[in-house]
C-alpha cells in the first residue's frame, strides 16, 4: 500500500503526482492492475463533517484512524505539525491496585500503574504520565480516568493512556 514518496523532495501533492507517474510507467495499463502493489486513495478534507464521516467509515472497517497532511508540506522523517493523526478514543475509570517500577529513561520512577476496571478486568497503564507524575504516582485505591481504543479479544482496553485522577462525585 503506497501512500507517500519520502525521497521525492517536493510538497506532498507533487509527491503524489510523482507516484502516479512512476506507477503509470511500471504498470502500463494502470496501478490497479497490480496484484502486489496498491496506491492508497487520498481525499482533500472538506471540513469537520466529512472528516468525522471518513473516520467513522475507517473505524467501522477495522482501521485505527485517519491521517491529515498539509498538501504543500515537505516530507519530514519525524513527528510534525504537518501530519496529524485523528483517532477515536473511549474513556473509562479504574482503580489503582499496584505500581510497576520504570526502566530505561523511567528508571527510578513509575513505569506503569496496575488497575482494575469496574467489571473486574485487570491491566496496566504505562503512558500518559508526565515525569512529575511518575515521581509521585496515583496512590493505591485512587480512581483514575484513562482513554483507550477499543478492547482486545480478552476484553482488556487497547492502548490505555492515563488521563487524570478521577475527581470523585
Q: Which domains does the chain show, CATH number per domain?
A: 12-87 (no CATH), 90-165 (2.40.50.140)
Give me the pLDDT at residue 28, please.
65
pLDDT at 91 over 90: yes
- Can you tell me the mean pLDDT for 87-94? 93
pLDDT at 99 over 60: yes
- Of 25-29, 68-72, 88-92, 109-113, which gets the smallest average pLDDT? 25-29
CB-based contact 157:146 (threshold 8 Å): yes
On whether the pTM is more than 0.75, the answer is: no
- Can you tell me the mean pLDDT for 40-68? 90
Question: Quick one: cell of 71?
Answer: 498538501
CA distance 56 to 153: 21
Alpha-carbon distances of 54 from 3, 32, 38, 40, 139, rounded to whole Å: 17, 22, 20, 14, 40
- Find residue 68's DSSP bridge partners: 84
CB-based contact 52:65 (threshold 8 Å): no
pLDDT at 30 over 90: no
Residue showing cell 496506491: 39
Give the other-Cβ count within 10 Å of 89's Cβ: 14
Give me the pLDDT at residue 29, please.
57
For CA atoms 74, 77, 82, 87, the dihedral sign is positive
- Can you tell me the mean pLDDT for 94-122? 96
* Average pLDDT value over all residues in the chain: 90
In tens, the pLDDT along 129-166 reads 999 999 999 999 999 999 998 888 899 999 999 999 98
CB-based contact 39:19 (threshold 8 Å): yes
Amino acid at each position: 500500500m503506497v501512500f507517500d514518496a519520502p525521497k521525492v523532495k517536493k510538497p506532498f501533492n507533487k509527491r503524489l503526482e510523482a507516484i502516479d507517474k512512476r506507477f503509470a510507467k511500471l504498470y502500463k495499463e494502470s496501478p490497479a492492475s497490480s496484484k502486489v502493489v496498491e496506491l492508497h486513495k487520498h481525499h482533500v478534507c472538506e471540513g469537520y463533517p466529512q472528516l468525522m464521516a471518513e473516520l467513522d467509515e475507517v473505524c467501522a472497517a477495522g482501521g485505527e484512524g485517519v491521517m491529515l497532511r498539509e498538501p504543500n508540506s515537505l516530507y519530514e522523517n519525524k513527528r510534525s505539525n504537518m501530519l496529524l493523526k485523528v483517532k477515536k478514543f473511549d474513556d473509562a475509570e479504574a482503580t489503582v491496585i499496584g505500581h510497576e517500577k520504570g526502566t530505561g529513561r523511567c528508571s527510578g520512577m513509575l513505569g506503569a500503574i496496575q488497575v482494575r476496571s469496574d467489571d473486574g478486568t485487570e491491566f496496566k497503564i504505562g503512558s500518559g504520565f508526565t515525569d512529575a507524575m511518575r515521581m509521585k504516582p496515583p496512590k493505591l485505591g485512587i480512581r483514575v480516568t484513562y482513554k483507550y481504543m477499543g478492547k482486545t479479544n480478552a476484553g482488556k482496553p487497547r492502548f490505555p493512556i492515563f488521563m487524570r485522577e478521577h475527581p470523585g462525585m
